[in-house]
Structure 1
Amino acid sequence: MIDFENLDKCLFHGVGYYDIPQIEPVTEYPDGEFIPMNYANKEKNPAEKIIHCFVHDYQFSRYWNRPDNYIQRLSQFRAVCSPDFSTYTDMPLAMQIYNHYRKHWIAAYWQRHGITVYPSISWSDERSFEWCFDGEPRGSVVAISSVGTQADKKSKRLFIRGYEEMMDRLKPLCVICYGRVPKECGQKIIGIPPYYDVIVNRRKGLVK
């Protein structure tokens, strides 16, 4: 196998038109504090923390570029969420699909090494529904982010439309939502405040 794009490390049998690696479901409810991926190396109590990747892509691109360098460290955490590589509506469709593939390759690779991985579900517009749920498990706890999607009517509409499609196709056990939870999302959801809000509140003495 050619030594590039991690194909030398593992070639998963994919699903869907684009051969997206399948992620296995996780049915354990999250029990631990969520922290951003860029705080992982400095965390002193990893067994009590769950890592998410709802940050800028450059903060976690190294996990794709050098996946074997971080397996041991990530294994120390209670769980991680699959990398949320961007699928913005104004990105070329080919790049969106590539980012979806990368997310699934890393998540499947982590699971193969015994790491508990909550699937991070993302979408752009209705065109992405043809592939953005490929490889995602049914009946699993899943994670999403609403950050940056509630600023205007169009972006909010796309978020709610994708959320409804996700619920219909994947039938998740529950949904972890990083950011503000829109009222349209219903009851089957766990809201996680953005980490910068947690830091600010800690400085104000509002949380420990």
Structure 2
Amino acid sequence: MNNKQRYENLQHGFYAGAGKYDIPQLTGSKITDFPELIGFNYAKTTKNRQNKGVHFFLDDYQFLRLWNNPTAYLDILKGFRCVLTPDFSLYADFPTAMQIYNHYRKHWLGAFWEDNGIEVIPTICWSDEKSFKWCFDGEPKGGTVAVSSIGTQNDNAAKAAFISGYEVMCEKLRPETILFYGNVPDECKGNIVHIKAFQDKWKGARINGW
């Protein structure tokens, strides 16, 4: 392998690309027996991993280490029932190049995990309408996907952008099941499995006397 390939994790694998930017294509998952999902920040200390799944609805800094050293966490992730792809941030005010790079990183890790025998559920992310030209590249059609509404329901513009992207996702990918992390807006349709956000679970626990 020449030196030009020994960066950005290319030494660990090349994957068939989709779309204008050669986004690694994911096979996807048709899993329907969904386990409890925990954040990656608890993955190392969690017991009974075979009965749990891992999500990345966290601040990027909490899972950037996966990209920086992808082989170091394979054994941990292999122990879980399923793993969602990491949703590196796609903020609309980010430079487009950075958004595409984050989309690529999400898919490279997902393809790498699939290649190593991990059950991977695609996390679908978008920013504004411009992102629709590439943000669904590499995603499988049908099967199970995951989305998060966290941080998108605070004002009318952000909510409208989320709903718009959600509708395009459903049209382009036609998922059979949608794991939904956070509050589900009334406008969102489909076979939705609602996953409460961690802070919602904590609020519920406190209400019940914890």
TM-score band (shorter)?
over 0.9
Residue 86 of structure 2 corresponds to residue 83 of structure 1: yes
- State the distance in 1 between where 2:209 and 2:200 align: 11
Residue 128 of structure 2 corresponds to residue 92 of structure 1: no
Q: 2:110 maps to what in 1?
A: 107
Gaps of 5+ in 2: none
Q: 1:39 maps to what in 2?
A: 42
Report the residue type matching 1:108 in the other structure: A
Pairwise CA distance, 1:196: 2.4
Match of 1:15 among 13, 18, 27: 18
- State the distance in 1 between where 2:200 and 2:42 align: 15
- State the distance in 2 between where 1:71 and 1:34 align: 18
Report the residue type matching 1:31 in the other structure: F
Pairwise CA distance, 1:34: 0.9
Q: How does 1:44-59 map to 2 (within 5 A)?
A: 44-59=47-62
List per-residue Cα deviations over 1:69-114 (Å, max 9, x = no partner): 1111100001010000000001000000000000000000000000
Contact 2:17/2:138, CA 8 A, preserved across alignment: yes
Which secondary structure does the structure 2 equivalent of 1:143 belong to? strand
RMSD after superposition: 1.3
Identity value in percent:
48
Q: How does 1:95-174 map to 2 (within 5 A)?
A: 95-174=98-177
- State the distance in 2 between where 1:57 and 1:23 align: 21
- State the distance in 2 between where 1:195 and 1:206 align: 17
Contact 2:56/2:86, CA 8 A, preserved across alignment: yes
Pairwise CA distance, 1:30: 4.2
List per-residue Cα deviations over 1:14-67 (Å, max 9, x = no partner): 111000000112111142111111110110111111110010000111111100
- State the distance in 1 between where 2:139 and 2:88 align: 15
Contact 2:177/2:190, CA 8 A, preserved across alignment: no
- State the distance in 1 between where 2:72 and 2:200 align: 30
- State the distance in 2 between where 1:53 and 1:30 align: 19
Residue 194 of structure 2 corresponds to residue 191 of structure 1: yes
Which secondary structure does the structure 1 equivalent of 2:23 belong to? coil
Which secondary structure does the structure 2 equivalent of 1:183 belong to? coil
Contact 2:178/2:190, CA 8 A, preserved across alignment: no
Q: Which moved more, 1:115-124 or 1:197-206?
A: 197-206
- State the distance in 2 between where 1:187 and 1:137 align: 17
Gaps of 5+ in 1: none
TM-score, length-scaled by structure 2 = 0.95
Which secondary structure does the structure 2 equivalent of 1:91 belong to? coil
- State the distance in 1 between where 2:166 and 2:49 align: 30
Equivalenced residue count is 207
Which secondary structure does the structure 2 equivalent of 1:142 belong to? strand
